[in-house]
């Protein structure tokens, strides 16, 4: 069962902390101290953090190349760290784990490749979102989001930890070109047990400046597993081309998987689209 969510909006409780930053990006990612560094220890409340990467070059001065955000609700510990990069790129890292009462974590990016690439004008916008939620101490999110001039990618950070874990886990991405969707992908698991998304390669999903989307940036396999009873949902779309779990749609199209499971589930997924 898919649950709709928006990364940069959250219902904040009374005991909350809200942080925001606007970044005039230095020449290279991680060449300077982080522009945002938030340590979180929340017993019952909410934290919302949004970081905008501002281009300080002569190409698009003052424009946002990348916007990254994290929202956490419930009881949890975590760290959100962001470094600035060229043309408004960001390198953002989130590590969050729930306390016994559970938590809800959301993390995402919006990418404007006209700004990020400096002088390329493909009119491509990319949006990525990740979500993990649950009612116990097993909810986890350990992600890195790395923007650059021509491609964006997410990764597990650190690699030894689960990328997403909880009763509900989701990843989704949409790529538009000239405001028209050209590629989309979504993975979601809802269970009364515990669901996990993991990568054999540290890198996960990627979005390219020409309007490409992949779930397997850097190669390797992407695995979904869960215990208990629940549902698994996956869908992909490519305007001109789509590969989906080993199937190829050379002229583009849509593909979807909707499954219920009674004693857990485990398998690999793959999507490439443009």
Q: Yes or no: say if 3 and 188 are a contact pair by the CB < 8 Å rule.
A: yes
Query: Residue range 255-271: average pLDDT?
Result: 98
Angle, vertex CA 37, rays to CA 36 and CA 43, nearest 5: 125
32 pLDDT band (50/70/90 cuts)? confident
66 pLDDT band (50/70/90 cuts)? very high
Query: Residue range 129-153: average pLDDT?
Result: 97
Query: What percentage of the chain's residues is helix, strand, coil (to nearest 5)?
Result: 5, 65, 35
163 pLDDT band (50/70/90 cuts)? very high
Q: Is the pLDDT of residue 8 over 50?
A: no
250 pLDDT band (50/70/90 cuts)? very high
Q: Yes or no: say if 147 and 109 are a contact pair by the CB < 8 Å rule.
A: yes
* Rounded Cα gap, residues 5 and 49, in angstroms: 16
pLDDT at 189 (0 to 100): 98
Q: Is the pLDDT of residue 10 over 50?
A: no
* Residue pointed to by tokens 């405001």: 179
Q: Yes or no: say if 103 and 142 are a contact pair by the CB < 8 Å rule.
A: no
H helices within the chain, ranges in order? Answer: 113-116
Domain boundaries, the chain: 24-273
First vs last Cα of the chain: how many Å apart? Answer: 26
Query: Residue range 16-42: average pLDDT?
Result: 61
């Amino acid at each position: 069962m898919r649950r709709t969510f928006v990364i940069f909006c959250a219902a904040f409780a009374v005991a909350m902390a809200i942080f925001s930053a606007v970044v005039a990006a230095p020449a290279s990612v991680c060449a300077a101290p982080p522009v945002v560094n938030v340590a979180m220890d929340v017993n019952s409340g909410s934290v919302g953090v949004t970081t905008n990467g501002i281009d300080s070059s002569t190409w698009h001065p003052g424009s946002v190349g990348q916007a990254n955000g994290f929202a956490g609700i419930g009881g949890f510990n975590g760290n959100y760290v962001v470094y600035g990069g060229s043309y408004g790129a960001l390198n953002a890292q989130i590590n969050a784990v729930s306390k016994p009462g559970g938590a809800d974590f959301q993390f995402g990016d919006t990418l404007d490749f006209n700004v990020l690439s400096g002088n390329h004008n493909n009119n491509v916008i990319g949006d990525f979102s990740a979500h993990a939620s649950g009612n116990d101490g097993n909810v986890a999110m350990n992600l890195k989001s790395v923007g650059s001039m021509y491609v964006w990618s997410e990764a597990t950070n650190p690699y030894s930890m689960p990328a997403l874990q909880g009763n509900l886990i989701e990843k989704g991405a949409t790529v538009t070109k000239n405001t028209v969707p050209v590629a989309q992908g979504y993975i979601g698991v809802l269970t009364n047990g515990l669901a996990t998304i993991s990568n054999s390669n540290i890198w996960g999903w990627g979005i390219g400046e020409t309007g490409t989307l992949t779930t397997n940036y850097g190669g390797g396999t992407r695995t979904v597993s869960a215990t208990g009873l629940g549902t698994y949902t996956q869908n992909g779309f490519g305007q001109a081309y789509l590969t989906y779990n080993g199937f190829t749609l050379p002229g583009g199209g849509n593909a979807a998987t909707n499954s219920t499971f009674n004693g857990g589930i485990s398998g690999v997924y793959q999507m490439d689209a443009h």
